[in-house]
Amino acid sequence: MSISQCLRSGTVALAGTLVALAFPGSASAAPRIPGADLVEVVRVDAGELCSFPVAIAVKDGTRLHDSGRGVMVSTGPLVAVVTNLATEESVTLNISGPTRRDGGLVGPALILQPASANLGDPFVQVNFGRVTFTEQNTIATQTGRVRDICAELS
């Protein structure tokens, strides 16, 4: 599924290889991680995720493990660089696992909610804890530490 399809469908959670971001851009924005490949760079217009245009570059060296009991665990290096394209300021986010998906997410996760999904205010955040989702793919519950990336870059 492309990022534009994911953005239209609602909240997007990026933990391990759960979502591949797709959009052309500058691969140099992502840091060098041994054993990790650039997944892709996404550029998003102002108002879609933050009040300013952003680019998200992801380096993914994770492995996905299936427990065979409905639980997926992502382990390994995963880094996202989110850049405010208006100011060129960026934050580097270490969202390496382990992250467990068992109907929700437990562990570090980058979560995006686009304006075009019409599900509420748009955002980019990182959650270090547990997140569960509604049937509409919005956040139902959230525990742990949350970083508001749009606020950090504004």
Quickly tell me which residue has 């525990």 as its tokens.
143
What the block records as the tokens of 30 is 């992502």
> pTM (2 decimals)?
0.77
Dump pLDDT digits (tens) for 125-152.
999 999 998 888 888 999 999 999 999 9
* Burial of 76 per CB tally in 10 Å (0-12, 13-18, 19+): middle
Q: Token pair for residue 84?
A: 């405010």
By residue range, what is the domain housing residue 60?
A: 3-153
pLDDT tens sequence across 57-90: 888 888 888 888 888 888 888 889 999 999 999 9
Domain count, the chain: 1
Predicted confidence band of residue 35 (pLDDT cuts 50, 70, 90): low
- pLDDT class of 18 with cuts at 50, 70, 90: very low
